[in-house]
Amino acid sequence: MNAPNLSHAHLLHSIASGARIHQISVSHPPLRSLSRDIGRLYSGLRDERDDPYWQDVLRYLRTFMFVVSGTPLPLNDASLGLGSLIDRLLDRVVNIESTFPDFAAHVRAVIDQMIAIGKSSTDPLGDAVRHDLEETRDTGILVLLRRAARIAPVRENLAKSLGSRLQVSTSHRLLSESVYDRVVAIGPTRWFPEAIAAPRAERVDLFRYSWVRDQPLPVALFAGSRSKGKRLHGPVVEVADGYSEGELPESFLEPRVAWSEIHERVLRAAHEDDGETEEIDARLFLLADSSAVYIEAEEGARSYVLDPTAEVDDRVQLVPGEDLTNGMFLILRTEGGDDRTALADRILGGHAQELRQRQRMWKERLRNHIRSFGPGDTLRNLRDRGSARASLANLRNWAASGSKRTRDYEDFLAIMRVIDVENEAPKLWEEMGIIVRAHIQAGQQVRAALIRRMEKADLTRLEAEGKLDFNAPDLGGGTLTVFRIEDASPETQLIPESRIDRPFHLEDELWQG
Amino acid sequence: MKSDELWYRDADSWRRLAGWMRFFVELGRSMVEGEEPSRRLTVGVSVPTRSFAAVLAAAGMVLARASRDSGYADSAESHFEYLTSLPDGTSVTWHTPRAKKKVGRLAGVAEFEGQRVLMIQTSMKGGLREACHIRDCLGVQPVDEYIPLPKGETVGKPLGESVPLLATLIPSKNLFRFLSQSSIDCLILGVRRRLVLEATVGELGVAVTSRAELRGTINGILRLRDPNRPAETFRSVATADARDVAETPSAVIYDGPRPYLRWRHKWPRPSSLLILDRSEPRAMEAADVMNEEYLTKRISEWDSVPGELPDGIEMTAYVVEVAQ
């Protein structure tokens, strides 16, 4: 975000008042034919649509149309990933002739069209954008994509003819409050409500295929609200050639995330460490490069976040899990090196092994007690022995291997009484305090090292693409990656601790915009 | 003083406040004037950018409250009694009737020409003590921490560069109280660093001529509380964390969706203003929450902002009944 300035704020208000927003329709007969056939299949399925099998099949079809509708690249460009998507769909429908014979021929015909399109070197959206922009003298052009994953290949593709005057990004870029000569958005209007509601250029062009049904919505947010004229409460988008008679329902291309499917796939996937770790409460975050990560959501859990707009010394902050939200930049270790625990152990030196053994001892005893008596009786036992803060959430936190000791000594003493090591309580409290202090020191070292790295990092690229790798020689080597958070799951889930903070790739069909 | 008499600095020149700037100042002023007991006034505004919206609305709130007559004499009497109940040696700040700022320590009560006066030690030199009359004692505020006294005699520091500007915006009978007393006329929940920056770089002026003394910053009006300067008086607070504020503010501005979604239940009584930038990803989420209250709890609409809405600004405003 730029430094605040009343004049610049006034400019943004002026642009928002006078911006003209156009929708430009792009024709491509093979895709139109495919959309018609998918639309007919969708209509013909009727109640069968709720069947998990068809939900899966429709998800692949939807993803195909979503990707091609939002990416100005040749249709056979490898970064679109249409080939592997079709392969996964073919795997899913391998037995369709025996399971759903009435629909088999229709589905096969649809897939044949998808294969043909996926091999085509045409670039309908890219050509339309180039045609629109080649004759303009605009020098500051922002191209908006719905998803960040393909920003780099799109920029490379468009820059061949349009040069360096254009930037490619997602709607997050609008928050920076920069002003452009023109903003170009690829996809239907409902993918870019921010670009329409808070324009950052006097001209905004939205490119969509002619077969995409798209009724632009008013951009007013509040019930019972008023505004001057019809800019916020009426249609704001000028449509050059009317709307198509597309047979795909408007909802087909609505952005959606298959949260529960992602969670199930994660749990199904084998992981060698899972057997040895406990489950902790975590929230799933979608990241700008088409990956996702579980972040601990237990009370007190905090993650490193980068604020590219802050002064150098404030750029890296530890933020509570509950405060993480879309648009923030999360710092995660993606390869090798030491995490905070390893650094803390280095600070503890020769005492690390013994102290960690003591930490494991009381954790295991507490977990054994919970297993034997159940959480309810364990809570009662703790309260009877003087714990004032015993609650299910706190108990889970105390038993988690990451926590070192309770906040108050009375709670710690109650735990020691319950697990029959009361006489060791004062000594253990001191020992756990040593670990706590080592973690604080390690945290300070990590933060200082991250700040040093961020001083030289290309934050402009990070803001455009949503992802930036950097080496961390003073943090035990390896790679750290800054990711922009694109979305967060509405619910938390219990996840094996070994999966926390480890980004994993998401297939396109699980995250459609 | 009307907002259309205010100017803002645009690089090297001065311009009259733009329509949207005036709108926010007047909105803040109107919200104060529209307050009613047992009613909470709630306003939601969506804008193309949140920059300066919260601080300008807060300025309107602070100015409106400063212009109210609040029973000066009575409050001075009770404040005098309060000060005399504190132990000798309590650190205080003192905004003197000569518009200077001093630090001191309470040093008992004395009689002067038949009237009780508060004694304040203002220097280490010979334990120098000065007298403060009841009528001026609102300028004396206790401070929670130890403040060292100057070694020599001191005339005090000037009250601030914005005072001449404030003198044109606030009735003169209220100006001393405004400068010398602390209160939270407005709490802004948002990114403090950003808000402080906006308040300090945003320059306002009145009937601007070559007389520089009529210029000041938005923060000259807001007088945002500075955690690093506990001896300074303040009229508003900007913070990201509502737990930083123990007092009940007179009004709350939620600058963005995050503070609203997180803290909206903490102060159910004061008037509240939610400002949403329509380019923010969570704007709709926060608007949905406010819309639910609008649909289920509003007892009436509120439509007292003078003038028409500027282009590009959307506003909803309603009244909710609250328990006293």
Q: What digits encode the pLDDT tens for the residues A100-143?
A: 999 999 999 999 999 999 999 999 999 999 999 988 888 899 99
Query: Three-state secondary structure along A273-337?
Result: CHHHCCEEEEEEEEECCCEEEEEECCCCCEEEEECCCCCHHHCEEEEEHHHCCCCCEEEEEEECC
| Whole-complex ipTM | 0.81
Q: Has residue B47 got a pLDDT over 90?
A: yes
Q: Do B311 and A17 touch (CB under 8 A)?
A: yes
What is residue B64's predicted lDDT score, i.e. its pLDDT?
Answer: 94
The 3-state DSSP class for residue B252 equals strand
Looking at the complex, report in whole angstroms how far the Cα of residue A5 sits from the nearest Cα belonging to chain B: 7
Half-sphere exposure of A319 (CA within 13 A, CB side): 19
Supply the pTM of this predicted model: 0.77
- Find the largest Cα–Cα distance for chain A: 83
Helix ranges (H only) for chain B are 19-33, 53-66, 72-85, 163-169, 172-180, 192-201, 218-222, 257-263, 283-297
Tens-place pLDDT, residues B261-281 = 989 999 999 999 999 999 887
Residues 6 or more apart in contact with residue A164 via CB below 8 angstroms: none
Chain A 459-488, residues with CB within 8 Å of chain B CB atoms: none
Residues 6 or more apart in contact with residue A485 via CB below 8 angstroms: A285, A286, A287, A288, A324, A325, A326, A327, A328, A329, A330
Contact of B98 with chain A, judged by CB distance below 8 Å, is answered with no
Chain A CB contacts of B197 below 8 Å:
3-4
- What whole-number distance in Å separates Cα of residue A484 and Cα of residue A290? 11
Q: Has residue A444 got a pLDDT over 70?
A: yes
Q: How confident is the model at residue A362 (pLDDT cuts 50, 70, 90)?
A: very high
Query: What integer best gives the mean pLDDT of chain B?
Result: 86
Tens-place pLDDT, residues B159-199 = 666 777 887 888 877 877 788 788 999 999 998 989 999 99
What is residue A275's predicted lDDT score, i.e. its pLDDT?
Answer: 53
Chain A 8-27, residues with CB within 8 Å of chain B CB atoms: 8-10, 12-13, 15-17
- What whole-number distance in Å separates Cα of residue B193 and Cα of residue B239? 8
Contact of B300 with chain A, judged by CB distance below 8 Å, is answered with no
The answer to whether the Cα torsion of B303, B308, B310, B314 is positive or negative is positive
Q: Which of A166-180, A232-246, A347-361, B134-148 has the lowest mean pLDDT?
A: A232-246
Give the chain A residue nearest B50 (alpha carbons): A9
Give the chain A residue nearest B290 (alpha carbons): A222
Pick among B47, B52, B279, B280 to test the A interface (most A CBs inside 10 A): B279
Residues 6 or more apart in contact with residue B141 via CB below 8 angstroms: B92, B93, B94, B180, B181, B182, B233
- Percent of chain B at pLDDT > 70 equals 91
Q: How confident is the model at residue B146 (pLDDT cuts 50, 70, 90)?
A: confident
What is residue B159's predicted lDDT score, i.e. its pLDDT?
Answer: 66
CA A508 to chain centre: 12
Q: Do A222 and B315 touch (CB under 8 A)?
A: yes
Pairs of residues, one from chain A and one from chain B, whose beta carbons lie less than 8 Å apart: 143
Segment A216-242 shows an average pLDDT of: 79
Q: Which of A48-57, B145-154, B304-313 has the lowest mean pLDDT?
A: B145-154
Which of B49, B278, B281 is nearest residue A221 as measured by Cβ atoms?
B278
Chain B CB contacts of A326 below 8 Å:
281-282
For the beta carbon of residue A314, count every other beta carbon within 10 angstroms.
11
Which of A221, A229, A314 is nearest residue B46 as measured by Cβ atoms?
A221
- What whole-number distance in Å separates Cα of residue A474 and Cα of residue A479? 11
Tokens of B38: 């047992």
Of A73, A210, A203, which Cα lies nearest the Cα of A147? A73
Phi-psi region of A336 (alpha: psi -120 to 50; beta: other; left: phi over 0): left
Q: How confident is the model at residue B212 (pLDDT cuts 50, 70, 90)?
A: very low
Chain B CB contacts of A5 below 8 Å:
51, 201
Q: How confident is the model at residue A173 (pLDDT cuts 50, 70, 90)?
A: confident
Of B42, B35, B36, B27, which Cα lies nearest the Cα of B298? B42
- What whole-number distance in Å separates Cα of residue A138 and Cα of residue A164? 12
Query: What integer best gives the mean pLDDT of chain A?
Result: 87
Chain A CB contacts of B313 below 8 Å:
227-228
What is residue A389's predicted lDDT score, i.e. its pLDDT?
Answer: 86
Tens-place pLDDT, residues A47-70 = 898 899 999 999 999 999 999 999
What is residue A246's predicted lDDT score, i.e. its pLDDT?
Answer: 56
Pick among A2, A190, A221, A233 to test the B interface (most B CBs inside 10 A): A221
Q: Do B48 and A223 touch (CB under 8 A)?
A: no
Of B272, B265, B278, which Cα lies nearest the Cα of B313? B278
Q: Do A327 and B311 touch (CB under 8 A)?
A: no
- What whole-number distance in Å separates Cα of residue A35 and Cα of residue A117? 12
Q: Exposure of B115 by Cβ count < 10 A (0-12 exposed, 13-18 middle, 19+ buried)? A: exposed
Of A318, A282, A315, which Cα lies nearest the Cα of A470? A315
The answer to whether the Cα torsion of B237, B242, B244, B249 is positive or negative is positive
- What whole-number distance in Å separates Cα of residue B290 and Cα of residue B261? 9
Q: Has residue B52 got a pLDDT over 90?
A: yes
Chain B CB contacts of A227 below 8 Å:
309, 312-315
Chain B CB contacts of A172 below 8 Å:
281
Give the chain A residue nearest B52 (alpha carbons): A6
Chain A CB contacts of B305 below 8 Å:
none
Chain A CB contacts of B51 below 8 Å:
4-5, 8-9, 12, 177
Of B218, B131, B233, B251, which Cα lies nearest the Cα of B176? B233
Contact of A223 with chain B, judged by CB distance below 8 Å, is answered with yes
Chain B 106-135, residues with CB within 8 Å of chain A CB atoms: none
What is residue A80's predicted lDDT score, i.e. its pLDDT?
Answer: 95
Give the chain B residue nearest A311 (alpha carbons): B193
Q: Has residue A454 got a pLDDT over 60?
A: yes
What type of residue is B65? Answer: R
Contact of A232 with chain B, judged by CB distance below 8 Å, is answered with yes
- Percent of chain A at pLDDT > 90 equals 48
- Percent of chain A at pLDDT > 70 equals 95
Q: Do A194 and B290 touch (CB under 8 A)?
A: no
Q: Has residue A166 got a pLDDT over 50?
A: yes
DSSP state of B87: P
